[in-house]
DNA sequence: GCTTAATAAGATATTAATTATCCTATTTAA
DNA sequence: TTAAATAGGATAATTAATATCTTATTAAGC
């Protein structure tokens, strides 16, 4: 990939600037990341990048549905590249966030049935302990 | 109910002040509500309440798990009284938020099976159109 | 490749949101 | 009723986010 996001920007009539590509690549690399971390990361290779530019672009990219807000409990808001619907798994031990792609249709249908609500999309976060941390805990006990 | 939250505060070794009771009653009355709305509402009957007190108490009450953050997409963070797990339904037409109490165990089990993640709790939001707004739309078409 | 119009970036000022500080008031247990 | 502990109110300080304005960059047409 030279510039995998160039076409995405063009498709939305947004100019493909170095700053925007840097922002998108950074978020893509990290999966989930908040504003400050994006700024720090980009700043390493791109010290002239202004925070105003970052805020402005993040908001624009969310408006154009290229980015998506990720609001996890007790954490600063993060952003991710918009992709197919998935569930966020948030590990309380290592603070890692995993994505899991799983069938949620039965739940959605049950909700529709019970409430009469027509669902267009859903946002699901589960808190707990990831596989790795579970094993760590287990070994330290036994 | 004279003071349904008095005992909750005492149980957490928090002093039962008028301000705290006002905050909790306000949130309880509204279900979901953000900081500014709480402030405005309480200000009507309690003009001397300081915003610092509000922020401080909201944070304390979250720490003690008496309140819970509600983070909905594209909205300011809200708060609710912590209660049994439920799903939030967010209507895109009228911006209303409904709670629905429904079995999520099958989904949680499937996630555990697929990911090895041990889930302690989950946070689910569904966006769409509520029953009332669906009917409104239908009548205006036909 | 140039030129130009449109858009975006950077710097900075402004505004809004949140937290910290300090002194006074209230709560609660003895 | 009193005293110690805690919380409130006012305000200052900090942090986050947005707006403004000027310069720079992008991209389309020649």
**Which residue is nearest to the C1' sugar atom of C26, using CA?**
B17
Domain A87-141 has CATH 1.10.10.10: no
> Taking CB atoms and an 8 Å cutoff, what residues of chain B touch A121?
126-128
pLDDT tens profile B35-55? 999 999 999 888 999 999 999
Give me the phi and psi of A39, to 5 degrees please.
Answer: -60, -50
What are the boundaries of each domain within chain A? 6-81, 87-141
* pLDDT surpassing 70 at residue B139: no
Lowest mean pLDDT segment, chosen from A76-85, B2-11, B22-31, B46-55: B2-11
pLDDT tens profile A111-134? 888 888 888 778 888 878 888 887
Cα-Cα-Cα-Cα dihedral of A10, A14, A17, A22, to 10°?
-90
pLDDT tens profile A1-56? 446 788 888 878 899 999 999 999 999 999 889 999 999 999 988 899 999 999 99
Contact B110 A126 (CB under 8 A): no
Q: Which one, of B76, B99, B71, B90, lies nearest residue A121 by Cα?
A: B90
Cα-Cα-Cα-Cα dihedral of A77, A78, A83, A86, to 10°?
-60
What pLDDT band is residue B138 in, cutting at 50, 70 and 90? low
Shortest alpha-carbon distance between residue B125 and chain A (Å): 5
Percent of chain B with pLDDT over 90: 37
Mutate to test the interface with B, among A128, A136, A138 (most CBs of B within 10 A): A128
Architecture of domain A6-81: Orthogonal Bundle (1.10)
Tokens 């739940």 sit on residue? A107
């Amino acid at each position: 990939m030279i510039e995998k996001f160039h076409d995405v920007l063009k498709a939305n009539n947004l100019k493909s600037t170095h700053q925007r590509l840097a922002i998108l690549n950074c978020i893509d690399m990290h999966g989930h990341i908040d504003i400050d971390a994006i700024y720090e990361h980009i700043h390493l290779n791109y010290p002239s990048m202004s925070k105003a530019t970052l805020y402005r672009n993040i908001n624009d990219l969310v408006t154009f549905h290229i980015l998506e807000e990720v609001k996890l409990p007790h954490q600063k808001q993060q952003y991710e590249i918009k992709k197919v619907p998935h569930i966020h798994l948030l590990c309380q031990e290592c603070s890692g966030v995993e994505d899991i792609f799983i069938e949620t249709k039965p739940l959605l249908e049950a909700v529709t049935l019970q409430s009469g609500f027509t669902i267009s999309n859903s946002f699901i976060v589960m808190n707990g302990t990831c596989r790795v941390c579970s094993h760590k805990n287990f070994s330290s006990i036994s």
